[in-house]
């Protein structure tokens, strides 16, 4: 079923079976599997298709997908306590103790008193993650490296869910909208959802926080077109869920889920250190499973909120082996121990920081004029592109807009900068102006055709 993400008919299943089954027997068995929620049926009569619940991220959360063809063989150093966690979660599932949600695990944490990361670890992460620049508005650094961040974080986060797109496939999909041949639409949707979610966080840097608006909308973007019930996107869970290959049973009572969700948000907001905030979210959101699915993806992107707001190096989960991440999450689920996940987090941030050092150095000091007028530039460039204006009408539009919206002493310089940005617009940077791919492509056709 996993090789048929869009479903397969009963006839198709019959052809794939190694033995012949009477048609009625096959139909009976399929109905049994649907009743037990081990399969999902869609359509009616001869158009009915069957698929695995996990092919569209329905009611069973999957914590280990197939190994990506570009999976890493890197080793993450661990402490004795982390190694003990690995040893336990590697036992066969029947040898591990069934456990439920432990509310005391959440209640016992006191923001700015309790700490998962030691003072030394927090100071180390701050040292490697802070750009050597003057204080800037929230989201400035994330905007500067947006195109690179879109690809890195989208690929690595989806890779941890078993997505088989390569890094090059991901780049082509995000930059040009080109789906990889031989891949399912589910995988492309997952990546494009990450792109939308990252752009939402970066473009709203001064407004996002650990509140319902941010986290629910983040889930809605990441879960778009992936859930069996579309209305579940951006909504807290009202159904029971299971965790594949785990003995952990999440909360089932909607009122308790909502109560714990609000407590997690309040606690995270109260934490002052951005790295402790980030790691706390990585631990807490997956453990609660507040949504029908896509919980870990929400946690990975939400863990970047403190870094976006503080202009720190983003966490892109570069070079994190799927196996290590999976075992670390299981350690939280079944043992309420964070040691292994902490090693994964620190290693991931180290690798992300080293990746973006070169990008940061190539950026130089930000232009204070562009920084001051970043919103105005986004607005006028978006207006020109969406209006599908040819070159001369575009320049006239910039001049008129500047006259109406920019102070006289800054107007001419703004116009020059805006014109320069328009001329420098290309497939690798249009996303920073919140322009759709279709809008950009049409605009480029007009400009390249010299339609004045």
Which residues lie closer than 8 Å to 236 by C-beta, 6 or more apart? 216, 254, 257, 258, 261, 290, 291
Position with higher pLDDT, 88 vs 412: 88
pLDDT at 62 over 60: no
Position with higher pLDDT, 371 vs 190: 190
Lowest mean pLDDT among 38-42, 68-72, 264-268: 68-72
Q: What is the pLDDT of residues 23-47, one digit of tens each?
A: 666 776 777 677 656 677 766 555 5
Mean pLDDT of all residues belonging to the chain: 83
pLDDT at 404 over 80: yes
**Residue 358's pLDDT band (cuts 50, 70, 90):** low
Residue-level pLDDT at 171: 80
Residue-level pLDDT at 21: 62
Residue-level pLDDT at 452: 45
pLDDT at 390 over 60: yes
Domain ranges, ordered by start, for the chain: 10-55, 80-363, 368-448
Contact 189, 225 (CB under 8 A): yes
- The whole-angstrom separation of Cα 249 and Cα 279 is 22
Contact 222, 298 (CB under 8 A): yes
Lowest mean pLDDT among 8-22, 189-203, 411-425: 8-22
* Percent of the chain scoring above 90 in pLDDT: 44
The domain defined by 80-363 folds into Fic-like fold (1.10.3290)
Q: What is the pLDDT of residues 273-310, one digit of tens each?
A: 999 999 999 999 999 999 999 999 999 999 999 998 88
**Residue 337's pLDDT band (cuts 50, 70, 90):** very high
Most confident of 107-116, 151-160, 430-439: 107-116
Contact 183, 165 (CB under 8 A): yes
Residue-level pLDDT at 59: 42
**Residue 19's pLDDT band (cuts 50, 70, 90):** low
Q: What is the mean pLDDT of residues 135-149?
A: 60
Residue-level pLDDT at 42: 65
Q: What is the mean pLDDT of residues 424-433?
A: 81
Residue-level pLDDT at 195: 92
Give the CA distances from residue 418 to residues 142, 258, 369, 377, 392, in Å, rounded to whole numbers and listed in that order. Answer: 21, 46, 11, 6, 14
Q: What is the mean pLDDT of residues 311-332?
A: 91
* 219-220-225-231 Cα dihedral, nearest 10 degrees: 120
- Crossing angle for the helix pair 295-302 and 212-223, to the nearest 10 degrees: 130
Nearest to 157 by CA among 333, 343, 298: 298
Q: What is the mean pLDDT of residues 13-19?
A: 67
- The whole-angstrom separation of Cα 222 and Cα 148 is 19
Q: What is the mean pLDDT of residues 93-116?
A: 96
Lowest mean pLDDT among 20-34, 192-206, 331-345, 363-377: 20-34
pTM higher than 0.75 for the full model?
no
Residue-level pLDDT at 355: 75
């Amino acid at each position: 079923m996993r090789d048929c993400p869009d479903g397969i008919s009963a006839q198709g299943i019959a052809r794939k079976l190694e033995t012949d089954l009477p048609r009625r027997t096959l139909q009976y068995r399929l109905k049994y599997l649907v009743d037990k929620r081990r399969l999902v049926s869609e359509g009616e009569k001869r158009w009915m298709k069957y698929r695995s619940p996990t092919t569209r991220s329905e009611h069973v959360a999957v914590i280990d997908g197939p190994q990506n063809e570009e999976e890493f063989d890197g080793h993450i150093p661990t402490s004795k306590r982390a190694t003990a966690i690995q040893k336990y979660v590697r036992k066969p599932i029947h040898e591990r103790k069934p456990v439920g949600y432990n509310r005391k695990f959440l209640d016992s944490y006191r923001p700015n008193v309790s700490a998962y990361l030691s003072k030394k670890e927090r100071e180390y992460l701050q040292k490697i993650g802070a750009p050597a620049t003057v204080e800037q508005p929230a989201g400035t650094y994330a905007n500067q490296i947006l195109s690179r961040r879109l690809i890195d974080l989208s690929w690595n986060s989806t890779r941890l869910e078993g997505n088989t797109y390569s890094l090059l496939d991901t780049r082509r999909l995000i930059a040009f909208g080109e789906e990889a041949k031989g891949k399912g639409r589910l995988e492309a949707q997952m990546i494009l959802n990450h792109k939308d979610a990252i752009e939402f966080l970066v473009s709203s840097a001064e407004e996002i926080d650990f509140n319902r608006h941010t986290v629910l909308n983040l889930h809605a973007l990441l879960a778009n077109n992936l859930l069996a019930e579309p209305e579940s996107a951006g909504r807290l869970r009202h159904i029971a869920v299971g965790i594949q290959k785990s003995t952990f049973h999440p909360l089932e009572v909607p009122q308790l889920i909502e109560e714990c969700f609000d407590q997690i948000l309040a606690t995270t907001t109260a934490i002052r250190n951005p790295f402790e905030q980030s790691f706390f979210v990585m631990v807490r959101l997956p453990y609660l499973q507040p949504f029908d699915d896509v919980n870990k993806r929400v946690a990975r992107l939400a863990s970047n909120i403190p870094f976006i707001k503080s202009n720190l190096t983003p966490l892109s989960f570069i070079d994190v082996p799927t196996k290590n991440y999976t075992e670390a999450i299981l350690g939280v689920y079944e043992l309420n121990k964070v040691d292994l996940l902490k090693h994964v987090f620190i290693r991931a941030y180290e690798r992300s920081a080293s990746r973006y050092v070169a990008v940061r150095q190539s950026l130089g000091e930000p232009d204070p004029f562009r920084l001051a007028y970043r919103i105005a530039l986004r607005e006028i460039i978006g207006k020109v592109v969406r209006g599908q204006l040819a070159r001369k009408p575009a320049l006239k539009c910039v001049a008129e807009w500047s006259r109406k919206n920019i102070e006289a002493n800054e107007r001419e310089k703004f116009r020059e900068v805006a014109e320069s940005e328009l001329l420098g617009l290309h497939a690798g940077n249009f996303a920073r102006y919140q322009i759709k791919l279709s809008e950009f492509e049409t605009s480029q056709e007009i400009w390249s055709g010299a339609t004045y």
